[in-house]
Chain A
Amino acid sequence: MEITFKVYRKDPEKDGKPGRSNYTLELAEDATVLDALLKIRDESDSTLSFRGCCGRGYCGECMMRVNGSARLACTAKVPDYTKKGPEISLDPLRNVPVIKDLVFDWDAFMWNKIKEVKPWLEPESSPVNGENLASEAEMQDLRKVMSCFYCGMCDEGCTVLPVDFKFLGPAALTKAYRLAFDPRNKDSREQVKIVEKPKGIWDCVHCYEADEHCPRGIEPTKRIVALRDRAFNSGITHEAVARHHASFASSVKESGWLDEGRLAVESEGLTNVKGLMKLLPTAAKALARGKAPIPYMHSKRPDADKIKKIFEKAEQEEK
């Protein structure tokens, strides 16, 4: 099959301006995108830069966008991308500093963020016979997370990173989960506190895009949700989020459902005049249209007492 690859180019040693090179080549039916890139480099253009290593979807080095979607070039079969025509576009990931062509800055993309979550264990006890042991049952769930090979697909799929590149992102937060939930870690609360800081777990919108992107089925979003649940149950340290969650919880506990007006003002803080003033223009518009829920003017659901009982029992069990 004859395919044309339209490849993103950028060379900082020349003018550094982004462009595109087209390469048309003959490929076998079972060729992967990485096979094609190697052929281009060996036979037509030795200046083309890209990353690739294991060739079997294991190391994550060759991640790039194939026809706009993040893929590992070594597992992306060419025929899967030519259904609309014999052309394939190849680009580096979105929102990352490009070093040259398809090679981008992994440090900025992921490694610097992983460093921020204190990615190591501090066991409480001294090693027994040189080892800190954990039971098989305890490690079962973590083993899945430990199969992460840092391809960065979850970060590429993330909804928050395109609007805020400083967000730690699902890869680093999943690393934090791996440590916070390790039974050998002496202070797992410490790990949770680190990711409770701005740009951490509370900046995640839990849209589950990361889970859909992860090629290993590690489910990074569910890991972030578990970190948030642990923070909730042990006392949230992020001030704004703590106010919001406390108000939400107390209105469900007291009435069975949410008092939205109360949530809006208590999330800002009842003594936070500046924050409350910020709500006024929208609240005034909403009131004019007869739709602003009045804080604390909230009826209880029938059976609210039964819901409260469940709520309190669940809280108690967690303690």
Chain B
Amino acid sequence: MKYAFYPGCVSRGGCPELYPSAVKVAEKLGIELDELKSVGCTGAGVLPQNIADPINARTFAKAEQLGLPIMTICSTCTGVMAQANYRLKEDPIYREKVNKEFLADEGLEYKGTTEVKHLLWVLFEDYGIERLQSLIQRPLKGLKVSPFYGCYLRRPPEAITPTKELNRRKSYLDELISILGAEMADISGKGKCCGFPILSANEENSLAMVAKHTGESKEKGADFMVTPCPLCHLNLDGNQSRAEAQTGKEIDLPILHLPQFVGLALGFDTNEMNLKRHIVSTTDVESKVSMMS
């Protein structure tokens, strides 16, 4: 099982704990990663479509040359690329225009065959849950976990959940929590926005969203929240103390990346999963995990 790996900027920038954790987990699972190094940023919903689509088309063409589907570890990368891919696949005239105007100079052409998948989808759709279960060395019993998807991993439907069967993508994280042996601390906003996209435009609203989601999770008794999106992580973890200051309420909820969560169940220790690199202290999680092993 092999993928063209698109790690995204944040997994090596603002969340440098994510990239090595994901690589270790993939290696343990036997998922081979061929990293796409000479490709650009997806645009992250910041760059307009007319600029981002050709850059993403180039990424898809590079993966197509390798004959591999793309695997990401970021909901935003997945969402932005899936939307661009949908436009390029569904509209051959548009694809031809992008190929001709932007990729032909390099001798590249995107034929429209590349799939874009997040690690979370890969686990369920390609790897297989039974196979994952067979590798669990440390069932995370006794831990209460809230899921937080990142909106780009749930919508828009035509790009993310195009069939009735794939609508199940909306509950993969919920399912994974029980598969890894943990208990669910469900929250109403698990599929909503974390607030990160408006941090520059309206910091107050952005932090209010952080407080809302993490506060609800804490009230439900969660030990931590797990997210497949490092941008959500930047806001929910990195800006949690500012959200606390804004609302005057202590929250103190650790936020784990998806690969870290999977990695702990696969038997990695908390240092190997770089938990110490988080802004919100993960000491309580670390001691609970260490008591399990």
Binding site for B on A (CB under 8 A): 159-160, 162-164, 167, 198, 202-209, 211-212, 219, 221-222, 225, 228-229, 232-233, 238, 240-241, 243-245, 248-249, 252, 256-261, 267, 281-282, 285-286, 289-291, 293, 301-304, 306-307, 309-311, 313-315, 317-318
Contacts and interface: CB of A to CB of B under 8 A. Distances in A.
Contacts of B209: 159, 163, 205
A163 B208 contact: yes
A309 B105 contact: yes
Interface in B106-159: 106, 151, 155-157
B276 A249 contact: no
A229 B51 CA distance: 10
A315 B49 CA distance: 11
Query: Sorted from nearest, which 9 A-B pairs have the closest CB atoms?
Result: A208-B155, A229-B48, A207-B151, A303-B38, A202-B201, A307-B40, A205-B193, A260-B13, A244-B200
Contacts of A204: 198
B53 to A, nearest CB: 8
A252 B41 CA distance: 7
Nearest to A293: B13
A79 B49 CA distance: 43
A85 to B, nearest CB: 20
Contacts of B37: 301-302
Contacts of B156: 208, 211-212, 219, 221-222
Contacts of B277: 289-291
Contacts of B106: 306
A260 B201 CA distance: 17
A304 B197 CA distance: 25
Contact of B238 (A203, A208, A282): A282
Interface stretch (B14-22, B173-181, B263-271): B14-22
Interface string B83-113: 0000000000000000001100110000000
Contacts of B278: 289
Contact of A212 (B155, B276, B279): B155
B155 A205 contact: no
A252 B44 CA distance: 11
Interface of B: 9-10, 13-17, 37-41, 43-51, 54-55, 58, 101-102, 105-106, 151, 155-157, 192-193, 195, 197-198, 200-202, 204-205, 208-209, 212, 238-239, 241-242, 276-279
Contact of B51 (A219, A243, A314): A314
B155 A211 contact: yes
Contact of B48 (A159, A232, A261, A285): A232
Nearest to B51: A314
A160 B212 CA distance: 12
A205 B9 contact: no
19 contacts: A159-B192, A162-B212, A163-B205, A204-B198, A205-B195, A206-B151, A207-B192, A208-B156, A221-B156, A225-B49, A241-B201, A248-B44, A252-B40, A256-B40, A258-B10, A301-B38, A303-B38, A307-B40, A311-B55
A113 to B, nearest CB: 16
Contact of A209 (B48, B192, B241): B192
A193 to B, nearest CB: 15
B260 to A, nearest CB: 14
Q: Which secondary structure dominates where chain A touches chain B?
A: helix
B102 A208 contact: no
Given A205-B197, A310-B58, A291 B17 contact: yes
B151 A208 contact: yes
A293 B238 CA distance: 13
A243 B205 contact: no
Given A203-B198, A209-B151, A307-B39, 12 more contacts: A159-B151, A159-B192, A164-B208, A205-B195, A212-B155, A232-B48, A252-B47, A261-B13, A267-B200, A291-B16, A310-B54, A314-B54
Contacts of B102: 310, 313-314
A228 B17 CA distance: 32
A317 B54 CA distance: 12
Contact of A205 (B17, B151, B204): B151
A318 B50 contact: yes
Given A203-B198, A228-B48, A257-B9, A209 B40 contact: no
Given A207-B151, A209-B192, A303 B202 contact: no
Nearest to B156: A208
Contact of B279 (A162, A198, A282): A282
A257 B200 contact: no
A167 to B, nearest CB: 8
Given A164-B205, A203-B201, A289-B278, A257 B45 contact: no
B202 A207 contact: no
B47 A241 contact: no
A211 B209 CA distance: 20
